[in-house]
Amino acid sequence: QPKHSDHLNSEFVDYVSKELPRDEKTILTSIITLLSSTFFKTPHNTTSVDAYNGAAFSIRNRLLRRLDGTDQFFNSIKAKRVYYMSLEFLIGRTFDNAMLALGLKNEYSNAIKTLGYKMEDVIDEERDAALGNGGLGRLAACFVDSLACSNYPGWGYGLRYKYGMFQQQIINGYQVEAPDCWLDNPNPWEFPRPEISYKVKFYGNVAKSASNPHGYTWENAVEYEAMAFDVPVPGYGTKNVGNIRLWSCKTNHLFDLNRFNSGDYSGATANMVAADMLTNVLYPNDNHNNGKELRLKQEYLFVSATIQDVIARFKTSGKAWSEFSHMVAIQLNDTHPALGIAELQRILIDDEGMEWDQAWSIVTKTFAFTNHTILPEAMEKWSVPMLGKILPRHLGIIYDINLFFLQHVEKLYPNDRDLLARISIIEESSPQQARMAYLAIVGSHHVNGVAQIHSDIIKDTIFSDFVKVYGPDKFVNVTNGVAPRRWVNQCNPELASLITEAVGDDSWVNHYSKSSKLEEFVDDEDFRRRWWEVKQTKKEQLARYIKNTCGIEVSSNALFDIQVKRIHEYKRQLMNILSVIYRYNKLKNMSPQMRKEQVPRVVVFAGKAASGYYIAKLIIKLINSVADVVNNDKDIGDSLKVVFIPDYCVSAAEVIIPASDISQHISTAGTEASGTSNMKFVMNGGLILGTVDGANVEITEEVGDEQIFMFGVLAHEVDDFRYNQRYHATPPDSALQSVFDTIRSGLFGNPNEFNPLIECSHGAGDNYLVSVDFPSYLMAHDAVEELYKDNDAWVTKSILCAARMGKFSSDRSIDDYAENIWNIEPTAADF
């Protein structure tokens, strides 16, 4: 470790502490310098990918200077840090976001133009960083954006997967997965830090330490090494730059020369391959846990490197251990990093020589835990034998945590054996399982849900025993939010300039509640016309995107009805496509004249299914089969089009979301913890068709229930239907029955293939109450159509809703966490 900058050349110090000039000439020169040196390009062989690389690396250099300045600044004021630990960061693209954040988009666009390229094309050269599945990963990305923009001393920690979320192709209507080789191209948005790496152990056995009276030693372990890559997070309109530190497993030193020399070539690399596997690929499961050994190892590699790094960073403050929780807050994004609790406890006892109680008090003052789902199949549990094999010391620590916890419960509720069995971190199944959510609760000072209804539900259901033990105050709500930078300003510049006009300046981008000013323009004819024109423009852009990706022509005069999210039974894309079949039948039975009088509709789907999720993949096939029939039916023409856009990802969402007239968020009540795209759609002037679930409930509270199309049973009614035999015996209503008949007729291909989908939409197989909600769903669709015919009324609702979304900025979520959970303060970096 170099001591300090005193021995460094003063020119060096000067150079890094000065901001680079912001003029076009400087920018152009920096791009050309990079192209000709780093990328070895000449004017003859430069392409638009190169233009992207040159510009992106040039921007990165600006970010890195600020990243270091920010970190030094927070060191100098000894700020308490927050670390957001997440196995997923669904970042998407960074280039456009970075230019906007630094206020240099015009300058870069002109430089790119001088080089002979168009900015839109250059932006499209960037590959998404898709290190996440869906909502949970995208939330983490919005949160680090907000931390940076609101000047908080906060970083994200995650894994640098070599392969991110798979690329989805649609072949003959079926999903086919292809690997996401996102690191094939140079990645401007990461900076390798070989000097920051940590050893991480697996397997082996534990023995009582000879020198440490409280501790154990971990012997005969296999040792891997995790190395840091820093991903700078640009703050909009502030010098503050945040960071996501991603770990990658180092492998080169594991090459076995002895085996190589004896001719065992594959044996020589066996250890390298095994190590490489650890950070090779993101598990493509959203809301689903399958208990795989490799996943456990990924989680532990992540957790161990992160906790070691957090401790190393803390130690540079020179403060005593008693100050740790005053200097560090750690947020666990779901249970995926929950082993961090056992890891910190282990390090404090085994390496730092602390007693159990002192260590445990530090641990529980440091961690907080966010729960994102109540779906039973998503709950992480690890088989105890597997834990014991891979992490023997941690299993011991978890047993002890559990023992002390159960003793505490026993004192509070003597002789309640059922309670002890229910609440134990170790489930007495065969084999035994460690329940990670319970470990996370016991090891944290706060537990939060992600929308009010969800936070209430977890207290009443899956965590109710813990509320009895800890009292209600440990359990809080922090409603999710989304970053207005990406989800309005960047993806919809046309709308952004209208908001800027209404507000008077662009301060709404970091203070989103100011968008309420829009409400004052709701009766302004000229403003209303331009509002509508923006929507039309975004619909035309999406229509072009659909033409390019699917080859389908859609009319931008139609109502754009969009459902984009992971494909899951609980999200009920199935109910949507069944209603499309119903609509198609209805149109078929009309006279051509009557058909013309209907509101034409484009129904858009997009989303990935986990590769092992059979029913979800079958739903994709049904959607595509229906689309084939409907889109090629001459009688139907533009009255109805059905589109499945392949490979839904962040950059696709940025095109799709601004173009909705209506978007669907129709999960079975009580199953969608929050949802976040619902917020994005409304901010972009789209209306919502939804169930009384997740953040839909709070969106309704904010915009007013007359603005939104809600339907379906309520969360507290769901179990009645789910488990009611009498209900299972009731046949589906005639509308749904007619849809089943159409499928069974073979119109969409082999009807047997789709039988499983019919089976899970009625009777005992209808776990997500498709048949229960279907009639009210159809009525809600009718109401949407009625309103769409009244353009004035529609535009009014669109403006009012967008104006009332201030609460759903992730800046507000982060302020809530900072105040109620982390106890940290923002400070604008001064360097």
Binding site for ligand C3B (CB under 6 A): 133-136, 139, 286-287, 334, 372-373, 378, 450, 480, 672-676, 694
- Phi, psi of 731, deg, nearest 5: -70, 155
| Catalytic pick among 297, 372, 665, 797 | 372
The CB-of-807 to ligand C3B minimum distance in angstroms stands at: 15
The CB-of-681 to ligand C3B minimum distance in angstroms stands at: 13
Q: Say how many C-beta atoms besides its own lie within 10 A of residue 622's C-beta.
A: 23
| Closer residue to ligand C3B in complex, CB, 133/510 | 133
The CB-of-715 to ligand C3B minimum distance in angstroms stands at: 13
| Catalytic pick among 41, 566, 595, 797 | 566
Q: Say how many C-beta atoms besides its own lie within 10 A of residue 252's C-beta.
A: 8
First and final C-alpha spacing in the chain: 23
Determine contact, residues 284/133, Cβ cutoff 8 Å.
yes
The CB-of-375 to ligand C3B minimum distance in angstroms stands at: 8
Q: Say how many C-beta atoms besides its own lie within 10 A of residue 178's C-beta.
A: 10
The CB-of-705 to ligand C3B minimum distance in angstroms stands at: 21
| Catalytic pick among 680, 781, 797, 804 | 680
Between CA 266 and CA 256 the distance in angstroms is 10
Question: Token pair for residue 294?
Answer: 């490799």
| Closer residue to ligand C3B in complex, CB, 133/573 | 133
The CB-of-229 to ligand C3B minimum distance in angstroms stands at: 23
Q: How distant, in Å, are the alpha carbons of 404, 407, 415, 417 from that of 411?
A: 11, 6, 9, 12
The yes-or-no answer on residue 529 being catalytic is: no
Residue 593, amino acid: Q
Between CA 248 and CA 513 the distance in angstroms is 39
- Phi, psi of 464, deg, nearest 5: -60, -35
Residue number with the smallest Cβ distance to ligand C3B = 135
Q: Say how many C-beta atoms besides its own lie within 10 A of residue 648's C-beta.
A: 21
| Closer residue to ligand C3B in complex, CB, 450/688 | 450
| Catalytic pick among 46, 479, 671, 676 | 676
The CB-of-136 to ligand C3B minimum distance in angstroms stands at: 3
Between CA 733 and CA 106 the distance in angstroms is 58
- Count how many Cα atoms sit within 13 Å of the Cα of residue 113 in the half-sphere of its side chain: 8
Question: Token pair for residue 751?
Answer: 């009807």
Rg of the chain's alpha carbons, rounded to an integer? 28
| Closer residue to ligand C3B in complex, CB, 378/622 | 378
Determine contact, residues 217/202, Cβ cutoff 8 Å.
no
The yes-or-no answer on residue 566 being catalytic is: yes
Between CA 49 and CA 572 the distance in angstroms is 39
Between CA 768 and CA 715 the distance in angstroms is 11
| Catalytic pick among 66, 80, 565, 595 | 565
Query: 777: closest CA among 620, 661, 673, 669?
Result: 669
Between CA 56 and CA 95 the distance in angstroms is 6
| Closer residue to ligand C3B in complex, CB, 28/821 | 821
Q: 334 exposed, middle or buried (CB, 10 Å; 0-12, 13-18, 19+)?
A: buried
| Closer residue to ligand C3B in complex, CB, 379/703 | 379
The CB-of-667 to ligand C3B minimum distance in angstroms stands at: 8
The yes-or-no answer on residue 394 being catalytic is: no
The yes-or-no answer on residue 676 being catalytic is: yes
| Closer residue to ligand C3B in complex, CB, 286/654 | 286
| Catalytic pick among 41, 571, 595, 781 | 571
| Closer residue to ligand C3B in complex, CB, 447/550 | 447
Helices (H), 431-471: 436-442, 452-460, 464-470
Look at the chain and count its residues: 831
Catalytic residues: 372, 565-566, 571, 676, 680
